[in-house]
């Protein structure tokens, strides 16, 4: 691979500019690590109305352009954000047409209705096309275009079709990363006209057709040089059954030789219990006294009594079925019977929010529930909890179990996706393992895993072993980015050999 690459990421999120979930954290941390490795990196994201500019970053206006859009054009304007030298440049893409796609509250959803904006397909299709038009205007060639999830999935297609003759992409490799296959961008076929493709390109089993509609995720999978997912186990799961593949398992199996699983990392400077700015006390693997102070502070802030000295189980998550919250409902009585306290932070389904509100109201000595988007509180929950519960139905990678391991907070997880790749059941005899794992998706199995954890918690010497086992794991992006370096090198080798998807090759493969 070349010593230094020029890389363009396209993503709907990048922390702290715009973040809903783990996607924003991953894109930000990966891009920053790539800059530290000497690559030139630009991250393109939409210029949302509520975008947060980090302290010390400066904005500069770039020239606006008219972006091809159906039979005509739509106006776009661009702003470049520049920050510290160890951070990427951030290209902010805005829509200057009458509908102002990004000048509205929220990112994907209307906060007033908690529903996705009905024109999300248009919004993110425009973002992708406009971002590539801006990149073409820089007047230089780029080595890698890396698109993330369905919001940016058209980028590999445009690079290999409309923009295939442009000098910016003459030797470019395209990579498409699936962060969560559960969100695919399925819309009616009129969107093809906006994307610049004729009506004849839509027919049964065409690259664009999915049960009579257009599937953005399918487009990204088929037109990219290589496809990656965010953990090795998830890469296997999404090809095996509809439970994980959500209808695209067959498409992924057709490209099985081109699918790679690369486990995410974490920003171990931002998530470091020895220096975390949000914590009331600091600690390390060798000296854990500060964790006891964090635990005490969290318990008091939640209104818990310090007696009895029950362990604290933390949860920081979107409150959606994917994350396993129906298991909480099914196992409510058993959870309340455990000698443990629960701290839940999250927003999502009204059903689950009402469930946790009721528990917090009825049992304030055992349950605490918060709905704020509070980064500081999330850090304090990670540090102050003894256990961290993630009973996900599916989990492409997961970041919170990685934060928990680093903070000496023992994860209890279901063996799926990245959770299966990172958490190993603790064996009290060999003293190997860093958490507690259950296989079947059931409330009973979750409760049994929690009981095993609580039994070990009652043995302080054993508990210290499981904590320190987790804290010695290197989950940094320094490790994770090695996988992307190899991925890019492989994709560029394919481009050099002329083995790239084209409209004709993708069409003829179906």
The pLDDT value given to residue 505: 87
pLDDT tens-digit profile of 35-54? 999 999 999 999 999 999 99
What's CA 234's distance to the chain center, in Å? Answer: 13
pLDDT tens-digit profile of 178-192? 999 999 999 999 999
Mean pLDDT for the chain overall:
96
Q: Which residues, at least 6 apart from 13, have a Cβ–Cβ distance to it below 8 Å? A: 19, 20, 21, 23, 24, 27, 45, 107
Task: Give the span between the Cα atoms of 156 and 174, in whole angstroms.
Answer: 6
> 344-381: b or e for each residue (b if 16 or more CB lie within 10 Å)?
bbbbbbeebbebbeebbeeeeebbbbbeeeeeebbbbb
250 pLDDT exceeds 60? yes
Task: Give the span between the Cα atoms of 291 and 279, in whole angstroms.
Answer: 9
pLDDT > 70 in the chain, percent: 99
Task: Give the span between the Cα atoms of 232 and 477, in whole angstroms.
Answer: 16
pLDDT tens-digit profile of 373-389? 888 999 999 999 999 99
The predicted model gives 14-28 an average pLDDT of 92
Using CA atoms, how far residue 65 sits from 8, 94, 97, 129, 392, in Å, is 19, 11, 11, 12, 44
Question: Which neighbouring-strand residues pair with 228?
Answer: 177, 260
pLDDT tens-digit profile of 199-226? 999 999 899 999 999 999 999 999 999 9
Task: Give the span between the Cα atoms of 493 and 380, in whole angstroms.
Answer: 45
The token pair that represents 100 in the structure block: 């102002």
Using CA atoms, how far residue 194 sits from 70, 72, 128, 154, 417, in Å, is 4, 9, 12, 12, 35
Q: What is the distance in angstroms between the CA of the first residue and the CA of the last residue of the chain?
A: 32
Residue the block writes with tokens 């509100």:
357
pTM (global) more than 0.75: yes
497 pLDDT exceeds 60? yes
Task: Give the span between the Cα atoms of 208 and 203, in whole angstroms.
Answer: 8
The pLDDT value given to residue 328: 98
pLDDT > 90 in the chain, percent: 92
306 pLDDT exceeds 90? no
pLDDT tens-digit profile of 263-276? 999 989 999 999 99
The pLDDT value given to residue 22: 85
- Burial classification of residue 153, based on how many CB atoms lie within 10 Å of its CB (0-12 exposed, 13-18 middle, 19 or more buried): buried
The pLDDT value given to residue 508: 73
The pLDDT value given to residue 492: 97
The token pair that represents 9 in the structure block: 């990421």
Residue the block writes with tokens 């974490």:
266
The token pair that represents 204 in the structure block: 């049964």
pLDDT tens-digit profile of 163-179? 999 999 999 999 999 99
The pLDDT value given to residue 2: 56
The pLDDT value given to residue 372: 84
Residue 315 main-chain phi, psi, to 5 deg? -145, 125
- Which among 307, 301, 456, 321 is positioned nearest to 381, based on CA atoms? 301
- Which among 363, 342, 349, 350 is positioned nearest to 446, based on CA atoms? 342
503: confidence class by pLDDT, cuts 50, 70, 90: confident
The pLDDT value given to residue 241: 86
pLDDT tens-digit profile of 392-404? 999 999 999 999 9
- Burial classification of residue 507, based on how many CB atoms lie within 10 Å of its CB (0-12 exposed, 13-18 middle, 19 or more buried): middle
């Amino acid at each position: 691979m070349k010593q230094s690459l020029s890389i363009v990421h396209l993503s709907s999120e990048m922390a702290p500019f715009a973040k809903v979930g783990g996607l924003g954290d991953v894109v930000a941390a990966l891009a920053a690590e790539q800059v530290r490795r000497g690559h030139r990196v630009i991250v393109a994201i939409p210029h949302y109305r509520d975008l947060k500019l980090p302290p010390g970053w400066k904005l500069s206006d770039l020239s606006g352009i008219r972006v091809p859009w159906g039979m005509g054009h739509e106006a776009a304007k661009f702003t470049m954000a520049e920050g510290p030298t160890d951070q990427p440049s951030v290209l902010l893409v805005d829509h200057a047409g009458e509908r102002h796609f990004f000048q509205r509250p929220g990112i994907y959803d209307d906060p007033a209705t908690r529903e996705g904006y009905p024109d999300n397909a248009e919004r993110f299709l425009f973002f992708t096309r406009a971002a590539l038009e801006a990149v073409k205007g820089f007047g230089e060639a780029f080595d890698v275009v890396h698109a993330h999830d369905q919001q940016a999935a058209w980028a590999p297609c445009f690079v290999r079709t409309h923009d295939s003759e442009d000098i910016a992409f003459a030797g470019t490799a395209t990579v498409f990363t699936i962060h969560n296959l559960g969100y695919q961008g399925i819309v009616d076929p009129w969107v093809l006209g906006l994307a610049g493709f004729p009506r004849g390109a839509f027919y049964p089993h065409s690259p664009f057709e999915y049960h009579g509609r257009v599937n953005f995720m399918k487009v990204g999978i088929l037109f990219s040089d290589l496809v990656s997912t965010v953990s090795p186990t998830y890469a296997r799961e999404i090809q095996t059954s509809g439970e994980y593949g959500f209808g695209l398992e067959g498409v992924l199996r057709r490209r099985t030789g081109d699918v790679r699983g690369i486990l995410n990392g974490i920003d171990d400077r931002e998530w470091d219990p020895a220096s975390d700015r949000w914590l009331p006390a600091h600690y390390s693997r060798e000296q854990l006294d500060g964790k006891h102070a964090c635990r005490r502070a969290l318990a008091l802030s939640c209104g818990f009594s310090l007696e009895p000295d029950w362990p604290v189980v933390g949860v920081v998550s979107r409150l959606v079925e994917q994350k396993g919250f129906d298991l909480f409902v099914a196992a409510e009585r058993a959870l309340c019977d455990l000698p443990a306290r629960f701290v839940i932070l999250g927003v999502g389904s009204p059903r689950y929010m009402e469930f946790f509100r009721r528990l917090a109201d009825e049992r304030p000595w055992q349950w605490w529930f918060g709905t704020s988007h509070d980064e500081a509180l999330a850090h304090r929950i990670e540090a102050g909890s003894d256990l961290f519960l993630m009973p996900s139905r599916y989990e492409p990678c997961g970041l919170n179990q990685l934060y928990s391991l680093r903070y000496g907070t023992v994860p209890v997880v279901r063996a799926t996706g990245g959770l299966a790749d990172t958490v190993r059941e603790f064996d009290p005899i060999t003293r190997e393992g860093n958490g507690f794992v259950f296989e079947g998706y059931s409330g009973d199995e979750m409760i049994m895993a929690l009981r095993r954890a609580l039994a070990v918690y009652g043995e302080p010497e054993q508990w210290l072993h499981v904590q320190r086992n987790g804290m010695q794991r290197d989950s940094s992006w320094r490790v994770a980015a090695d996988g992307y370096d190899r991925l890019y090198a492989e994709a560029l080798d394919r481009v050099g050999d002329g083995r790239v998807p084209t409209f004709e090759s993708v069409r003829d493969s179906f």
